Amino acid sequence: MPATQTAYRTLKVSPQPGGFAAEVTGVDLSRPLDPAVLAEVKDAFARHAVLAFPGQPLTLDQLEAFTLQIGPFGDDPYVAPMEGHPNVLEVRREPDEKVTPFGGNWHSDWSFQSQPPAATILRSEIIPPVGGDTLYCDAAAAYDALSDEMKARLAPLKAIHSASRAYGPNSAYSRELSLRAMPIIVSPEAEKTFVHPLVRTHPVSGRKALFISPVYTVGIEGMAPNDADPLLGELYKHLVQDRFVYRHQWQAGMLVMWDNRCTMHNALGGYDGHRRVMHRTTVAGETPV
């Protein structure tokens, strides 16, 4: 996909180089979208996987309403929602916090669920003057770049996903609850595992993508750790090469939605001493195949 504006009747879609991620203007997300406009948004999402909509001063009700136009709400199990808004999470970091930012390692949201969310929608409320970028990696392009031999090796494999490293009783977050402003929930439920294809096929685009992450993938079904860990490590190194990564710089009042079925993301820090507040929803997904 060339890094030029894609032709749409109503939207202005400006892709990043290579076509992964795009900025979208010419649409007001605070009001219900006309069916033709919504179809264009969904088409752009299928093409580019990460969409950034600048200048969207939405209320929480409007954020929820836009989310439901994309799809039904997903389940957010390990962060308490905002009062009065059971499907909105507030991603907040206060100026005096010293711990790693929430989401500060490569992952695909809630991949440990039986039906992981199709999309995550995040809107910026308070943006620090420095830092706070988000990295996104194109797991479909990374798969395409693998050798035929590696693709054949990965085809039958199933990855084991779990929330244990992040939200289990002995997780990193469990040791930091008093140091964070966010209402993170630690639970033995996080120790459960779910198995998904290591390479999944996108239900809309039909493209294959690597569906693993260092945070939530804890092994490969039927493979000993001393065999699985080196393979996963090799794939993680491959995924986060510069050629597959888009670095997003936030603006206040910007909405970004990304496709968890074919991307990973990583929330960067670099804004100690400053408050950062974001509002997040998830869109329900399907069983990976």
Q: How many CA atoms lie within 13 A of 72 on its CB side?
A: 6
Strand, helix or coil for residue 245: strand
Mean pLDDT of the chain: 96
For residue 2, pLDDT over 50 is answered with no
Q: What is the CATH number of domain 12-283?
A: 3.60.130.10
- For 242, residues 6+ apart whose C-beta sits below 8 A from its C-beta are none
Domain ranges of the chain: 12-283
* SS3 of residue 64 by DSSP: helix
Predicted confidence at residue 172, as pLDDT, reads 83
Structure confidence at residue 202 (pLDDT) = 98
pTM here? Answer: 0.96
Q: What is the pLDDT of residue 5?
A: 62
Instruction: Convert the pLDDT of each residue in 46-89 to its tens digit.
Output: 999 999 999 999 999 999 999 999 999 999 999 999 999 999 99
Three-class SS state of 63: helix
As beta bridge partners, residue 119 has 259, 283
pLDDT at residue number 173: 92
Identify the band that residue 126 occupies on the pLDDT scale cut at 50, 70 and 90.
very high
- Three-state DSSP state, 162: strand
Query: How many percent of the chain have pLDDT more than 70?
Result: 98
